[in-house]
Amino acid sequence: MAAPALFFTDDPHSQMDDLLWRICDELQLSPARYQQAVERYEAVCHWLEANGSAVASFRPSLYPQGSMRIGTTVKPIGHDEHDLDFVCEVKAPSTTFSSPLQLLQLIEARLREHNAYASIIEVKNRCVRLNYANEFHMDILPACPDTNSGGGCLVVPDRQSRWWKPSNPKGYADWFEQRCELATQVYMAERARILAKAEPVPAQESAAQKATLKRTVQLLKRWRDVRCEKRPNVAPISMVLTTLAAYTYEGQLSVSESMSCILAKIVGLTEFSKPRIYVLNPANRQEDLSERWEDPVEYAAFVMGIRELNGLWAKAIATAGVQNVGMALETLFGEPVRVAVRKQASHLQELRAKSALRVRPTGVITAVPAVGIAMRSNTFHGK
Amino acid sequence: MGSSRRFARQRRFTLDEQAYRMSVAWPGLRVTRKQRQSEIVWVGEIQPTPLSENYTVSIRLCQRWCPEVRVLHPRLKVREGAPTLPHLNTDGSLCLHVEGEWHSGLFVAETTVPWASAWLYFYEVWSATGWWLGGGTHPEKPEHRSE
């Protein structure tokens, strides 16, 4: 993530965003773990392609999909392992296989030939999972190109229905990245406005702007995990939350403003969509990602949850006092909030020790240069 | 030349000079009491960070004494489970500096006010987390516990 710079203004969003970035930083896959995941999947890929592999003749290619691909990973509650999804696309139409199960079994059998993989393998409905203890769960989803549809469309074997299901992970990721790009457009317009007024341009890295939607999605997923910890059966799936957020996002540069906008619009949708909201896969409009909401109990739970979140979020951003804001956010996102508050304070203290802080005329401490009064060094004393 | 520079550094600011500097730097802090050449009191609001509360503080400066800062509103609260507030004098004023960091050749506006702001922020973080992260003396105290 882009390191927050504590460029506080008098606007509460400036500090709230720094805090939210730090919360997301606690939740997401660390750069070291990410690198490790890449190495692990490259090794799996080599094993599948190696001489003697029954999969090799299908020229498999392995690539990340889902949160790993779009940068919205969230650590699950209760254990340290992220779930990371990879597609193993074979260069053969589904008709090559006598049944969807044959493709799943082919991949599974090849992985079982490897001593290390054999001991950590777990077979799931649509994938073969490798459980790397204390690191992550690597789900390998076999897939065939959908020769009828093209455009990155795939079909994936489904063990339960014993049939092929449509999928398009690359198409979905491209669509999501396009939604993230809205922030760049807003930023360029804002920059042009500021330049026209000859004010200093706020320093912000482009990667950070584009990540605003990603950070908002991470927070939504985390809220879902916290709220549905005891009732996981009614938890909306990640792809539904991600898609809803991306559809309703308007290019805000601030994570807190993006969250406010997205929540207000989703709540609006719940009021006007009868009998329910349909979240269609943007990469395959035939697919209703929210098909589980056909169950009125599940849908009602979502509507109640998102309205509650909207209310609590509005309260949290209207709250004054770092301790009170922290408490309000902790209700929504759990224990990483306290860590984030502490890390923000430690960062501020580091800058203070380097005499790199100033104080605005309102009393607000900031790392923005050349405003207000420089903070001289001092030592808090006393009991 | 050298001696006049030393003189300039060691010169004490009068209360009028302190009041003028304060009015320029912190228009929100108003003089509420002033006794010529002996005492001056400012009262006003400070918000240490954009998410913080607005604190009404009083700053009292007596000739030849260190400035004294008190929080008037909202009332400072001891964290549940903590025996006392960290870095507070027994009379309720904030402990902002050690000897030598403040002298009457410095402006209250450029020292005490920014320090009070930092104190208030670290107080809020302490209330939220139980950690005093602003450093200081008495690092053996429980609120200074580190990872």
Reported as a single tens digit per residue, the pLDDT across A112-137 is 999 999 999 999 888 999 999 888 89
Distance from CA of B83 to the nearest CA of A (A): 11
Distance from CA of A377 to the nearest CA of B (A): 8
Token pair in block for residue B119: 């104190």
Residue of A nearest to B56 (CA): A363
The amino acid sitting at B103 is: H
Residue A2, pLDDT above cutoff 50: no
Distance from CA of B24 to the nearest CA of A (A): 10
Residue A300, pLDDT above cutoff 60: yes
**pLDDT bracket for residue B23 (50, 70, 90):** very high
How many Cβ atoms sit within 10 Å of the Cβ of residue A158? 15
Backbone angles phi and psi of B31, in degrees to 5: -70, 125
Tell me, yes or no, if B129 comes closer than 8 A to chain A by beta carbon: yes
CATH number of B2-144: 3.10.110
Beta strands, E only, B1-147: 29-35, 39-46, 55-62, 68-73
Q: Quick check: A383 and B125 CB within 8 A?
A: no
Tell me, yes or no, if A9 comes closer than 8 A to chain B by beta carbon: yes
Distance from CA of A179 to the nearest CA of B (A): 29
Distance from CA of A8 to the nearest CA of B (A): 7
Residues A227 and A305 sit within 8 Å (Cβ to Cβ): yes
Q: Which of B106, B117, B131 sits opposite A363 (nearest CB)?
A: B117
At residue A1, the 3 state secondary structure works out as coil
> In which element (H, E) is residue A163 found?
strand A163-167
Sign of CA dihedral A267, A273, A275, A277: negative
Q: What is the CA radius of gyration of chain B?
A: 17
- Average pLDDT of chain A to the nearest whole number: 89
Interface probe, candidates B21, B45, B51, chain A, greatest A C-beta count within 10 A: B51
For residue A335, the model assigns a pLDDT of: 93
Termini Cα distance of chain B: 51
Q: Which of A345, A364, A373 sits opposite B47 (nearest CB)?
A: A364
> Higher-confidence residue: B118 or A3?
B118
At residue A145, the 3 state secondary structure works out as strand
How far is Cα B143 from Cα B126, in angstroms, rounded to an integer? 8
For residue A140, the model assigns a pLDDT of: 93
- Average pLDDT of the residues in A250-275: 95
Q: Provide the whole-model pTM.
A: 0.90
Tell me, yes or no, if A373 comes closer than 8 A to chain B by beta carbon: yes
At residue A204, the 3 state secondary structure works out as coil
Q: What is the CA radius of gyration of chain A?
A: 24
Residue A223, pLDDT above cutoff 60: yes
What percent of chain A stands above pLDDT 90?
Answer: 66
Domain A31-168 has CATH 3.30.460.90: yes
Q: Quick check: B125 and A341 CB within 8 A?
A: yes
Tell me, yes or no, if A15 comes closer than 8 A to chain B by beta carbon: yes
CB within 8 Å of chain B, chain A residues 262-321: 319-321
Distance from CA of A16 to the nearest CA of B (A): 7
Q: Quick check: B89 and A383 CB within 8 A?
A: yes
Residue A26, pLDDT above cutoff 60: yes
A:B CB pairs within 8 Å: 165
How many Cβ atoms sit within 10 Å of the Cβ of residue A278? 12
A381 interaction partners in chain B (CB closer than 8 Å): 87, 95-98, 136-138
A323 interaction partners in chain B (CB closer than 8 Å): 124-125, 127-128
Residue A81, pLDDT above cutoff 90: no
Of A157-166, A240-249, A334-343, B52-61, least confident by mean pLDDT is A157-166
How far is Cα B11 from Cα A287, in angstroms, rounded to an integer? 79
Q: Quick check: A345 and B121 CB within 8 A?
A: yes
Tell me, yes or no, if A367 comes closer than 8 A to chain B by beta carbon: no
**pLDDT bracket for residue B147 (50, 70, 90):** very low
Provide the residue ranges of all domains of chain B, joining segments of one domain with +.
2-144
Q: Which of B26, B96, B128 sits opposite A380 (nearest CB)?
A: B96
